[in-house]
């Protein structure tokens, strides 16, 4: 009987010991988790395609205001999207920033982003400049416009994107390669606003009207007009604005030879694209990620983007800098930019079919 009693006492002591150890372990894990939460609140990891000084300055200001350390990984959009795919749920990324809504749509379609709720973002950003399911948000805006030689062309002759496909533009047009994402998104917008056959005819005629084979960036098209290679070009507004305010006199002179047409003002409006930001699917610092995107759409941040990079703000309550003000206000296409991503693959196929190099 004594042996049985002693065994029961020993068993009770052993169970009590393990119970205490489990409690200690639980407390340790809780403490560890609490520490992790504190650590999370002090940093944010950004995967960004953008390479501008304004971004660097804004991240530094965000760090200063919040005490949250900002870590940035820079690469092309395709590289960053592939990186997120490979890392999966172990990805350290909190925010993805790219130029072009089509790339953000691609990241969303691969399940790499997550929806967020933010009244600040809903208020700051018009609906057509953000994802309908709140998975990405525009932070800067650029219009893709027609520029023309002021001495050789009349703006009323080329008031639409469609007019660039007319016979009157034959041998005059300078434009980038079909591999350029800005042209792909422009083409995607034409598909979305009309149909594939209309877009195919447009692209076919554009190729016939080119003054030379596509080469270089948007600035090179403007320089091409100045050099007499053509009289019409397609470019994003901020490239021209930057050239007009450049320290290089040759760039300024080239930019001054052209004027801007905001196409389709009597119709759907001028094609718009964005730089945008999204919270990644497996963000370890989700609250910090939301704070950052909200910060980037604040009035102060929007003015930094405009003043330093000459990009249009996504907010509607910002007073324009003089260069943008000189061009006047314009009607923009309010097509939801998700449509650019949805139609980009079709755009690339059409470009290949019509041999737009």
Domain that holds residue 298: 41-140+273-318
What local confidence, expressed as pLDDT, does residue 10 receive?
39
Is there a domain that residue 54 lies in?
yes
| Residue 174 and residue 70 share a domain | no
| Residue 226 and residue 149 share a domain | yes
What local confidence, expressed as pLDDT, does residue 90 receive?
96
Is there a domain that residue 23 lies in?
no
| Residue 190 and residue 102 share a domain | no
What local confidence, expressed as pLDDT, does residue 41 receive?
62
| Residue 153 and residue 54 share a domain | no
48 pairs with which residues across the strands? 74, 97
What local confidence, expressed as pLDDT, does residue 315 receive?
97
Is there a domain that residue 33 lies in?
no
Q: Cα separation of 339 and 75, whole Å?
A: 25
What local confidence, expressed as pLDDT, does residue 23 receive?
39
| Residue 348 and residue 261 share a domain | yes
Q: Cα separation of 179 and 351, whole Å?
A: 9
Is there a domain that residue 216 lies in?
yes
- Give the domain CATH number at 349: 3.40.190.10
What local confidence, expressed as pLDDT, does residue 337 receive?
92
Q: Cα separation of 112 and 118, whole Å?
A: 19
**What is the sign of the dihedral through the CA atoms of 149, 251, 249 and 303?**
positive
* Residues 258-270: tens digit of each pLDDT: 999 999 999 999 9
| Residue 54 and residue 167 share a domain | no
Give me the residues of the chain with pLDDT under 50, please: 1-40
| Residue 207 and residue 346 share a domain | yes
What local confidence, expressed as pLDDT, does residue 217 receive?
96
Is there a domain that residue 260 lies in?
yes
* Residues 26-72: tens digit of each pLDDT: 443 433 343 344 444 699 999 999 999 999 999 999 999 999 999 99
What local confidence, expressed as pLDDT, does residue 58 receive?
98
DSSP class per residue in 234-299: EEEHHHHHHHHT-S-HHHHHHHHTEEEE---TTTT-B-EEEEEEEEBTT-TTHHHHHHHHHHHTSH
- Residue pair 139/181 in contact by the 8 Å Cβ criterion: no
Is there a domain that residue 12 lies in?
no
| Residue 74 and residue 177 share a domain | no
| Residue 63 and residue 92 share a domain | yes
| Residue 338 and residue 215 share a domain | yes
Q: Cα separation of 234 and 249, whole Å?
A: 22
What local confidence, expressed as pLDDT, does residue 309 receive?
96
What local confidence, expressed as pLDDT, does residue 33 receive?
40
Is there a domain that residue 3 lies in?
no
| Residue 168 and residue 48 share a domain | no
| Residue 151 and residue 249 share a domain | yes
- How many domains are contained in the chain? 2
Q: Cα separation of 334 and 128, whole Å?
A: 6
Name the token pair of 204.
Answer: 């076919």
What local confidence, expressed as pLDDT, does residue 64 receive?
97
Is there a domain that residue 200 lies in?
yes
């Amino acid at each position: 009987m004594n042996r049985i009693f002693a065994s029961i006492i020993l068993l009770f002591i052993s169970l009590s010991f393990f119970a205490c150890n489990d409690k200690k372990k639980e407390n340790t894990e809780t403490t560890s988790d609490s520490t992790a939460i504190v650590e999370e609140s002090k940093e944010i990891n950004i995967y960004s395609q953008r390479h501008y000084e304004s971004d660097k300055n804004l991240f530094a200001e965000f760090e200063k205001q919040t005490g949250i350390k900002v870590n940035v990984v820079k690469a092309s959009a395709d590289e960053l999207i592939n990186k997120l795919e490979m890392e999966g749920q172990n990805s350290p990324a909190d925010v993805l920033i790219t130029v072009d809504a089509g790339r953000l749509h691609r990241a969303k379609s691969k399940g790499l982003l997550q929806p967020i709720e933010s009244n600040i973002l809903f208020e700051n950003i018009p609906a057509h400049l953000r994802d309908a399911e709140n998975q990405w948000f525009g932070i800067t805006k650029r219009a893709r416009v027609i520029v023309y030689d002021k001495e050789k062309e009349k703006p009323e002759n080329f008031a639409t994107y469609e007019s660039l496909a007319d016979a009157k533009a034959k041998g005059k047009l300078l434009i980038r390669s079909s591999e350029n994402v800005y042209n792909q998104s422009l083409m995607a917008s034409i598909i979305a606003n009309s149909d594939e056959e209309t877009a195919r005819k447009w692209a076919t005629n554009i190729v016939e009207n080119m003054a030379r084979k596509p080469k270089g960036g948007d600035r090179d098209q403007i320089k091409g007009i100045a050099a007499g290679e053509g009289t019409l070009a397609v470019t994003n507004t901020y490239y021209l604005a930057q050239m007009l305010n450049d320290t290089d006199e040759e760039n300024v002179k080239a930019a001054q030879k052209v004027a801007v047409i905001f196409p389709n003002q009597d119709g759907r409006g001028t094609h718009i694209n964005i730089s945008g930001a999204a919270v990644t699917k497996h963000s370890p610092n989700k609250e910090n990620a939301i704070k950052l995107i909200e910060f980037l759409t604040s009035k102060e941040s929007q003015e930094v983007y405009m003043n330093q990079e000459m990009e249009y703000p996504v907010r509607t309550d910002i007073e324009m800098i003089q260069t943008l003000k000189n061009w006047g206000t314009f009607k923009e296409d309010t097509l939801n930019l998700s449509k650019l991503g949805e139609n980009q693959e079709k755009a690339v196929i059409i470009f290949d079919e019509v041999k737009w190099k």
